[in-house]
Amino acid sequence: MARAVAQRLRFRYVDTGAMYRSVAWAALQRGISLSDERAVTALAQSLQIDFVTDPEGQRILVDGVDVTDLIRTPQVSDGASVVSVYPGVREAMVAVQRRLGADGGVVMEGRDIGTVVFPDAEIKVFLDASLDERARRRFEELRARGAGADLESVRRAEEERDRRDRTRSHSPLRAASDAVVIDSTGIPADEVAAGIVQLVQRRLRA
């Protein structure tokens, strides 16, 4: 959704979730236990994560390695949910996110953007949907990529991710008090994106 909005507005798109996935992927590649908070934090602080735009879309590089497809597996998704609760990891990623968005003209997707990363952002949208709806969307995304998964497993993973994100001590998941909250359950993606674009355009003209 955020990507579609960025494309329509011709803004830069930054998927902050991909950054936590990148940390999890790098830890798994190096044989670092995801439960070792100190080691994972040190790794996160050392990684060079870049977003590169090419004709096919956005690519994600970790220390120069293209991990765009490698970080979209269920194993990495689960790992990202684990490492993202570590305060040191979040601090390292937030520093990168603030650098990427410092000049504006960015649509940044993530669960703490409006509350922690850019609390003074011009426009904040908190996009919500029912658990079943989000699980279905995620399942279809995985299936389109050829990743093996079943709907019930995806639903459980989404539920666990919600629990972790809402209860973590550092920047828990919540809507900013001044965010526009949109429940997208049952609404076509194009319609939701169009509504957000209109919102942005109205705010920019004000």
Question: What phi and psi values does residue 49 have, to the nearest 5 degrees?
Answer: -110, 125
Give the tens place of pLDDT for each residue, 135-144.
Answer: 998 888 888 8
Q: Contact, 98 vs 91, CB < 8 A? A: no
pLDDT of residue 171: 79
Q: What does the block give as tokens for 124?
A: 């904040």
pLDDT of residue 48: 95
Q: What percent of the chain has pLDDT over 90?
A: 68
- Cα dihedral value 34, 35, 38, 42, nearest 10: 10
Task: Round the average pLDDT of the chain to a whole number and report it.
Answer: 91
Q: Which residues pair with 50 in a beta bridge?
A: 61
What's the angle, vertex CA 157, arms to CA 155 and CA 158, rounded to 5?
65
pLDDT of residue 179: 95
Q: For 123-152, give the DSSP string.
A: --EEEE--HHHHHHHHHHHHHHTT----HH
| Amino acid at the residue 168 | R
pLDDT of residue 168: 79
Q: Which of 9, 1, 20, 10 is nearest to 112 (CA)?
A: 20
pLDDT of residue 119: 94
Residue whose tokens read 């969307």:
137
pLDDT of residue 191: 95
pLDDT of residue 54: 74
Residue whose tokens read 């990507």:
3
May I ask the CATH architecture of the domain 2-205?
3-Layer(aba) Sandwich (3.40)
Please compute Rg for the chain using Cα positions: 17
| Rounded mean pLDDT for each run of 10 residues along the chain, 206 residues in total | 92 92 98 97 96 81 95 90 93 94 91 92 94 91 79 90 83 89 94 95 86
pLDDT of residue 24: 98
| Amino acid at the residue 18 | A
pLDDT of residue 87: 93
Give the tens place of pLDDT for each residue, 92-117.
Answer: 999 999 998 988 899 999 888 999 99
Question: What phi and psi values does residue 74 have, to the nearest 5 degrees?
Answer: -60, -35
Cα distance between residue 164 and residue 150, in whole Å:
21
Q: Which of 62, 73, 121 is nearest to 110 (CA)?
A: 121
Q: Which of 158, 19, 171, 175 is nearest to 86 (CA)?
A: 171
